[in-house]
Amino acid sequence: MGFRYENNELYVENIKVEEIVNKEKTPLYIYSKSYFKKQFEKFDKAFSRKHCVSFAIKANSNLSVINTFAKLGSGADIVSKGELFRAIKAGVDTSKIVFSGVAKTKDEIEYALKNNIMMINVESMDELYSINEVAKNLGVKARISFRVNPNVDPKTHPYISTGLKKNKFGIPYDEAYDSYIKAKNLKNIDVYGVQFHIGSQLLDSKPIYDASVKIAELMKKLEEEGIEWRAVDVGGGLGIVYDNRKDTPPSVEIYAEQIEKAFEDFPDVLLVFEPGRFMVGNGGILVTEVVYHKTNSNKNFIIVDAGMNDLLRPSLYGAYHEIKPLKIEDKKKIVCDIVGPICETGDFLARDYEIENVENGGYLSVFSAGAYGFTMSSNYNSRVRPAEIMVDNDTYKVIREREELDNLIKGEKI
């Protein structure tokens, strides 16, 4: 299921994409529910021991998307009070929620403790003391894990590398032992587990295995000090294929074998995972209409109605997304920049991209847009954000309505 071409026309599950676009207009995010389910089940079934899959809400925070995974038994990885609010509204079991992020406020910590989430992933000693203080005021013990920075190179884009010494995330590996000892002695702290996450969009799981081995060594040393481990959170990071010409998909089975091997000395400890992109990335597209063509000194441009405010990844990371017409007609191909309406030179979906020359009024599909697409969108240039659609077999639902102009000024006053 998912997305496929049939008779040179793009389908999502059993619906022709153009039929949806004709009714719902563009720009438009479209998701495949069957793809989401397939990815979750593939990941979940790869493990033979006790584990918890906690979907990383930052990848796609639509309530219907979160609910799809919650119904399959997924928890949630959250990084804000707002994401916890979304998870609860979408029906996620709070005992399967882990809270990451470097700047949790006392208000956010209180909200998490009142909702009795699995654990808070602590990223600094200052944060630990804040959690202890909030827990004391509430009369509870806060379940925590430290996010330990193992200093393993994930070999990914520097903006989404999180496990090196120079990154802002976590506490240094060589300080983790002392940090855990201090945490153990705080009255309102329950040392529950350990967490690490070295980066995103990893196509080789070997760096995650290397980091896991280092974390297991730390766990053994701290076990000798009386710490009883109940959870180890491996984070997320498994990547997807964006570019079929060079990307090789990671093996979930090999990944599972490596993780279970690394922590084989802790057979009763719950393994927690935070997949995001892997679950949703290739289960979504962004459809955009060709508005104009333009040539400047032999440089070709296809100007579309979706911009960096709708899909930020190409502008932010120089990220590659495959782009194709909704209807392939074997027209002459051109090399062009595919650009949007935003008043920034960096507003592009692709540069020097070879594509069939779609006429004005035709449609393009930007693939692999299910993760970090709508969730990173904005109202820059006072543009309304797109609708989101969920397709289930031969039916679809609008799971987020296209914004109206009134949305742009909600809460503002003159």
| Chain segment 297-330, per-residue pLDDT in tens | 889 999 999 999 999 999 998 999 999 999 999 8
Indicate the pLDDT class of residue 164, thresholds 50, 70 and 90: very low
What is the pLDDT at residue 158?
Answer: 45
- pLDDT of residue 163 exceeding 60, the answer is no
HSE-CB for 226 with a 13 A CA cutoff:
6
- The pLDDT of 336-358, averaged and rounded, is 97
- The pLDDT of 75-88, averaged and rounded, is 98
Domains of the chain: 3-30+282-408 (2.40.37.10), 101-273 (3.20.20.10)
What is the pLDDT at residue 168?
Answer: 66
64-70's contacts with Cβ under 8 Å and 24+ in sequence apart are 64/90, 64/390, 64/397, 64/399, 65/31, 65/36, 65/280, 65/390, 65/399, 66/90, 66/91, 66/92, 67/91, 68/33, 68/36, 68/37, 68/390, 69/36, 69/40, 69/279
What's the mean pLDDT when you consider all of the chain?
94
What is the pLDDT at residue 207?
Answer: 86
Q: Which of 74, 54, 378, 42 is nearest to 235 (CA)?
A: 54
Where is pLDDT greater, at 150 or 407? 407
From 20-24, 59-63, 196-200, 346-350, the region with the lowest mean pLDDT: 196-200
From 211-220, 224-233, 242-251, 272-281, the region with the lowest mean pLDDT: 242-251
What is the pLDDT at residue 156?
Answer: 44
- pLDDT of residue 169 exceeding 90, the answer is no
> What share of the chain in percent tops pLDDT 90?
87
Candidate list 7, 126, 187, 343, residue with the active-site label: 343
- pLDDT of residue 124 exceeding 70, the answer is yes
Q: What is the pLDDT of residues 258-291, one digit of tens each?
A: 999 999 999 999 999 999 999 999 999 999 999 9
29 in Cβ contact with 386 (< 8 Å): yes
- The pLDDT of 32-45, averaged and rounded, is 98
- The pLDDT of 81-103, averaged and rounded, is 97
What is the pLDDT at residue 157?
Answer: 39
- pLDDT of residue 165 exceeding 70, the answer is no
48 vs 62: CA distance, rounded Å: 30
254 CB burial (10 A radius; 0-12, 13-18, 19+): middle
Question: What type of residue is 329?
Answer: E
Question: What type of residue is 208?
Answer: I
- pLDDT of residue 159 exceeding 80, the answer is no
- The pLDDT of 64-91, averaged and rounded, is 98
Taking CA 52 as the corner, what is the angle to CA 13 and CA 78, rounded to the nearest 5 degrees?
80
pTM: 0.94
What is the pLDDT at residue 161?
Answer: 40
- pLDDT of residue 250 exceeding 70, the answer is yes
Indicate the pLDDT class of residue 198, thresholds 50, 70 and 90: confident
| Tokens encoding 195 | 């967490």
- pLDDT of residue 75 exceeding 60, the answer is yes
- pLDDT of residue 7 exceeding 80, the answer is yes
- The pLDDT of 204-226, averaged and rounded, is 93
What is the pLDDT at residue 150?
Answer: 85
What is the pLDDT at residue 237?
Answer: 86
343 in Cβ contact with 307 (< 8 Å): no
Catalytic site includes residue 336: no
